[in-house]
Copies of this chain bind each other. A is one copy, B any other.
Amino acid sequence: MYKKTVLAALTLLAMAWWAGTTPAETAAPFSEATQACLDCHVQATPGIVADWKKSAHAKTTLEAALGKEPLARRVSAKAAPPGTAKTAVGCAECHLSRGVQRPDSFQHDAFTVHTVVSPPDCARCHPVEEEQYRGNLMSHAWGNLVHNPLYMDLAKHVNGVQKLAAGGLQTADPDAATQAESCLYCHGTEIKVDGAVQRQTDFGEFSIPRLTGWPNHGVGRKNPDGSLGSCGACHSRHQFSIAMARSPYTCSECHKGPDVPAYKVYQVSKHGNIYYAMNKEWNLTAVPWTAGRDFTAPTCAACHVSLLVDGQGNTVAQRSHAMSDRIWWRLVGLIFSAPHPRSPDTSIIRNADGQPLPTTLDGKPAAGFLIDAAEQDRRKTRMTGVCRACHSTQWVDGQMARLENTIGASDAMVLAATELMQEAWRRGLATGPPGASPFDEYVERLWVEQWLFFANSTRFASAMVGADLGVFEQGRWDLAKRVRQLQDWMDLRRDAPPKAKPGP
């Protein structure tokens, strides 16, 4: 008898230990359709299956997910769609076309399926998040780039192959494959169906739609069904771990380069310092997420996305997948800072000079397209509410005053460079708009880096409190040096005759 007791106790203890190291979900039965998928795919794509088996999707049912306390719920559907309540969320639950013939739907054994899972698929269980994300700048990242002729001109002069020809350097239009792994890797490609491929496999012959723009998981991907975005950009397939979505590494995939160095700022911030040193002791999967207890410094998600509570269960911040809900200035990607755009579709913006930019070249905002001061204030209040979970009001006010100051100072440094650039255009030392690209010549690229790299970096360093990126690591040092470099470049050409524009 006591042997049995000991054994039972040990088993219990082992289970408790196990429970402490894995998501506390019980097993869930698979639907027949999902089981049919698994029968072959456990061999055809074993890594995907094994990864998915670790997911909450594989271990819980929608019924169980819906039964949780409101603040603890990870699904926002009011009820389970017919026939989905009591099984795991498996291959079939996301990849079956379910009576809607999409452009990329195809017959695959007994099922009509589609490869490209799109936000409407996720919306069956997560409708609130899908709707919020539709209102988010990021879901329009593809169109905001390709429908803005000025940005496309920049993309051409980044990605187009150059050739030394008789009349000088010629820049070709960039090819689709290059664009797909360059700008559109993060912005998202347009995925279209272009006929079919026949595939011989161990399980028979299949005809599969040929997808162009594939693979891609960019945040603003244009899907074959016409929807925008890829939830998988942050909720990586096929484990869809909330711990991963909350980790700063996820955002760093697109927010690390010199044009948008948010992650680099985080790395040298006190927040980052605490995260890297201490996160192995944090609970990154708790819903809701308790500030100070589950985590002792914010990750990107904590400030910008997640539902946060305090130790008493009071809500610190609402969950939002319209990531700009807590952002009141647009600090990056453009020549000058400006209030956030009203519409997630920024390709509609025109400044006073008719250019598709939120400010003129001397910094005047295209106010009609941008949020007003009251909305800025609402968003700032949401963000500072997050700050105040761990910081005193005076701390937060001091920090915010510095940010406003830095926005002004960095814009002034861009203005100085832009005035020099305009002088170069005026004097014919370079050829710019109207009529010529402002992005192709060497000196123009020097000017571009002033705003696209150095001013962005300085503002991010201020906003997220990581000093290095605002000083010697592509910050103020470079802002100051670049103005002098442009001056030096012009001085040397003081008496040069105007030159014809080199190549296209």
Contact B467 A413 (CB under 8 A): no
Chain A interface category by residue count: 35 or more
Chain B neighbourhood of A465, CB < 8 A: 181, 185
CB of A393 within 8 Å of the partner chain: yes
Give the residue of B43, B45, B472 whose beta carbon is less than 8 angstroms from that of A312.
B43
Q: How far is the CB of A494 from chain B (nearest CB, A)?
A: 10
Q: How far is the CB of A336 from chain B (nearest CB, A)?
A: 14
CB of A112 within 8 Å of the partner chain: no
Chain B neighbourhood of A177, CB < 8 A: 401-402, 405-406
Q: How far is the CB of A239 from chain B (nearest CB, A)?
A: 6
CB of A123 within 8 Å of the partner chain: no
CA of A247 to CA of B483 in the docked complex: distance in angstroms? 38
CB of A381 within 8 Å of the partner chain: no
Chain B neighbourhood of A159, CB < 8 A: 476, 480
CB of A122 within 8 Å of the partner chain: no
CB of A273 within 8 Å of the partner chain: yes
> Does more than half of chain A's interface fall in helix, strand or loop, or is it mixed?
helix
CA of A215 to CA of B440 in the docked complex: distance in angstroms? 43
CA of A2 to CA of B2 in the docked complex: distance in angstroms? 7
B-contacting 9-mer, from A219-227, A253-261, A317-325, A371-379 = A253-261
User: Which residues of A in the span 223-278 have a Cβ within 8 Å of any Cβ on B?
Assistant: 236, 239, 241, 243-244, 247, 249-250, 252-254, 256-259, 267-270, 272-274, 276-278
CA of A45 to CA of B412 in the docked complex: distance in angstroms? 36
Given contacts A47-B389, A197-B394, contact A442 B13 (CB under 8 A): no
- Indicate how many identical chains form the complex: 3
CB of A141 within 8 Å of the partner chain: no
Chain B neighbourhood of A42, CB < 8 A: 311-312
Contact B268 A487 (CB under 8 A): no
Q: Closest B residue to A16 by CB, please name it.
A: B14
Chain B neighbourhood of A158, CB < 8 A: 471-472, 476-477, 480
What are the 9 A-B residue pairs with the smallest beta carbon separation, nearest first? A50-B292, A47-B390, A46-B310, A185-B467, A47-B292, A247-B277, A442-B488, A257-B468, A177-B405
New A-B contacts (6) at CB < 8 Å, excluding given A50-B293, A181-B402, A487-B502: A3-B5, A47-B389, A182-B471, A257-B268, A257-B473, A441-B488
Q: Which residues of A contact B (CB under 8 A)?
A: 2-3, 5-7, 9-10, 12-14, 16-17, 21-22, 42-43, 45-51, 54, 115, 157-164, 168-169, 171, 175, 177-178, 180-183, 185-186, 197, 199, 208, 210-211, 214-215, 217, 236, 239, 241, 243-244, 247, 249-250, 252-254, 256-259, 267-270, 272-274, 276-278, 280-281, 290-293, 296, 310-312, 314, 316, 388-395, 398-399, 401-402, 405-406, 409, 412-413, 416, 419-420, 440-443, 445, 452-453, 461-462, 465-468, 470-473, 475-477, 480-481, 483-485, 487-488, 491-493, 499, 502
